[in-house]
Amino acid sequence: MLFWHIIVILVVFGAFGGILDVLQVIDVRRLVSTDDILVNSRRRLGGALLLGAFGGIGGGFAMLFILATSGKLSPENSVVNLSLLSSIFTISGFLGYRILKSVAVKVDKQIQELEERTEKKLKDTTLELQAEIGYLDAINSGLVCAGAKDTSNSAIEEATYKLNKILTVKPTDRKAAIILARIYKKQKNYSKAIEILSKAIESRKRYPELSKDTDTAALYYNRACYNNLLRAQAAKEDNVLDQELKSKMYIDLKEAINFDVSNRLEAKDDDDFDSVKTESKFLEYVTANYMISD
């Protein structure tokens, strides 16, 4: 059915329905009132009928909007379809202003819901941006403290606080864990650095998709470094502790290489492994081109 066919039917039968509505009101008034000013004035009667016709056409357009948006407007140009549209537009014209009001309420509700969704999305986006800014600030502060030669205690405390806050919310975060561990490394607090990395590794083990990725490999690699540094610091005269830390170091290094082979080259030039670089086991780990087994 052509669009202009529908419009013609809408205008004719919508206006007809609107005029019927006005005539019904006049009949009702005749029943309840003897002073029929509206009927006595032809100009007023004509004006009322004209307004009724426009109201009916408006009701027809409102119904057309409902039919179009609901997908119930049939394109068929059949007698049944024409009769159905004629009936629908006559009824909607008769209801006229009532349908317009109903549609207006519906549109207003949709607008209100859209505004609420937009406001919520904007609020969520703002919170996400604030969280991202806070995250980047914490990472930047940590990098400065971990890399600078001279850093004030207050700056270190602030960076440590911010990074710990990130790890409280997201214990699997690689960057925050590694940078915080490097701050403790700078203070030669290797045990604390190992503790931070261990918590991050254990947290990532709970998620299969995270447990063996390159980020987890980086955590294992850094923990291997700090286990080896702790050997030099705390196990100089304790052979049992020395062997225990070395064993942990090799286990972590193996995992780091197996999860990310680029750690082989990294370990070759890393000063943290200077004390073991001549050992056959270390040389095997950093030169092998296969998965390292136990």
The per-residue pLDDT for range 273-287, each reduced to its tens digit, is: 999 999 999 999 988
82 vs 191: which has the higher pLDDT? 191
Both structure tokens of 206? 């709970």
205-208 long-range Cβ contacts below 8 angstroms, 24+ apart: 207/172
Least confident of 52-56, 78-82, 211-215: 78-82
Query: Looking at residue 262, what DSSP letter applies?
Result: T
Q: Distance (Å, rounded) from C-alpha 294 to C-alpha 292?
A: 7
29 vs 249: which has the higher pLDDT? 249
Average pLDDT score over residue span 104-130: 83
Query: Where exactly are the structural domains of the chain?
Result: 3-95, 170-287
Least confident of 129-133, 230-234, 235-239: 235-239
Res 202: pLDDT: 96
Which candidate, 56, 57, 47, places its Cα nearest to that of 26? Answer: 47
Q: Distance (Å, rounded) from C-alpha 284 to C-alpha 294?
A: 12
Mean pLDDT of the chain: 79
